[in-house]
Amino acid sequence: MSQKFDVVVIGAGPGGYVAAIKAAQLGLKTACIEKYQDKDGKLALGGTCLNVGCIPSKALLDSSWKYHEAEEGFKVHGIEVKGLAMDVPAMIARKAGIVKNLTGGIAALFKANGVTQLEGHGKLLANKQVEVTGIDGTVQVVEAAHVIIASGSKPIDIPPAPVDQDVIVDSTGALEFQSVPKKLGVIGAGVIGLELGSVWARLGAEVTVIEAQDKFLPTADEQIAKEALKTLTKQGLNIRLGARVTGSEVKKKQVTVNFTDATGEQKLTFDKLIVAVGRRPVTQDLLAADSGVNLDERGFIFVDDNCATSVPGVYAIGDVVRGPMLAHKASEEGVMVAERIAGHKVQMNYDLIPGVIYTHPEIAWVGKNEQQLKAEGVEINVGTFPFAASGRAMAANDTGGLVKVIADAKTDRVLGVHVIGPSAAELVQQGAIAMEFGSSAEDLGLMVFSHPTLSEALHEAALAVNGHAIHIANRKKR
């Protein structure tokens, strides 16, 4: 006789495990299915984010930045470092330890909240039944009143550069280098490519980023993207825009990459090549033909604004559905769906999902950018404040970048906050909170910000929207 649950979640990534915990907290009998195993062959919860994505990449970014600071940034503070060396295997081992602690923490949270953990591959059948195929091949079918699909995504492969996880790697392989490559190529100048390229550039690699698009960071505000390109180039990333890869050849532990750009056919040879051209939803063997759940034209599961599929009682969240592939977006969708299953009519504000690139300086934004608003014909006022004028940034010797606040010219309501600079992710979140409550630029300007803090840059940018900044000269309004 099959087990019966109120909620069955397929996938234990940042969307799935959060949905499962929330559903259990709301009194629903919940099971969560996961098949991912670590190097030791043990079940590892947390999905891409915790195992081979957000968390391990940030661990390497922090380690590599500390090395870079010791090498380049300590002198100005009067600190002299002699005999500096980087133990790459130790850095990788530290990263692995962090991942292990966090994935183990999810298992503990499942136990504490009464979530039943099912190990294996989940497949949705008809009538909200879910087939679970264990690692040993055994099959069981569980029944659910509600199903939440949170199967996530995986890196996109491109025929001109087939991944072998040795010389040509994807984002997962790039987290496991045991030494610093002398010459590193990165295909894709998106979030993943820039972050991973930054890690190894700080440690001494000669990094070339090959990007097919002509514009750098096209989804970011143009002013912020321009500043980012200038800064990252100065840091040593050779970013080649409008360059389309046409082929590659691995020979003697090196890879030669062929690509075309505005000047014609080009060829570069690297010790390692990272393919970071995006991710695609994981739907292989996920849906039985009679499950009733439909995919859209791009291969994502079709859902409405509340993540409901075409089958009543079946939902899908995270990277497997429309919208940005972000862990925090997946988590909040998981909470929303669990709440709605429990009868609470909550909704999620998709207009205020922050985006962050954890380079240094960080790049972050929330809301709409200047080019979007102008294209929509919205009259706006813009205020900016450079970290070069921030006392706290000066004290930290971290003065690159700026804060930009965009407000409606008629209502003064804040429509977007964009930051490149120290703690950009934290500052943008302050802007997101303000925007969630409909704050005006004047509201932000009237708030008391502690001194000295980096947050004062947001305060001054908000004041600058209406020409009231204190610590920079205000631009005259036309």
Specify binding-site residues for NAD(+). 188-195, 211, 278
Residues contributing to the annotated binding site: 58, 122, 188-195, 211, 278, 319, 325-328
Q: Please give the structure tokens belonging to residue 248.
A: 């590659």
Residue ranges of the binding site for FAD: 58, 122, 319, 325-328
- Please, is 70 exposed, middle or buried when counting C-beta atoms within 10 Å of its C-beta (0-12, 13-18, 19+)? middle
Q: Which of 416, 438, 281, 413 is nearest to 354 (CA)?
A: 416
Q: How far is CA 81 from CA 70, 180, 305, 396, in A?
A: 7, 21, 54, 18
C-alpha radius of gyration, the chain, whole number: 24
Pairing outcome for strands 355-357 and 402-408: unpaired
What is the token pair recorded at 26? Answer: 């709301």
Token output for 150: 């949170």
Q: Tell me whether strands 314-316 and 355-357 are parallel, antiparallel or unpaired.
A: unpaired
**Annotated catalytic residue, options 451, 459, 468, 471:** 451
Q: Residues of 438-459 as b/e, b for ≥16 C-beta within 10 angstroms?
A: ebbbbebbeeebeeebbbbbbb
155, 170 contact by CB (below 8 A): yes
451 annotated active-site: yes
d(CA 209, CA 217): 13
Catalytic residue annotation? 451
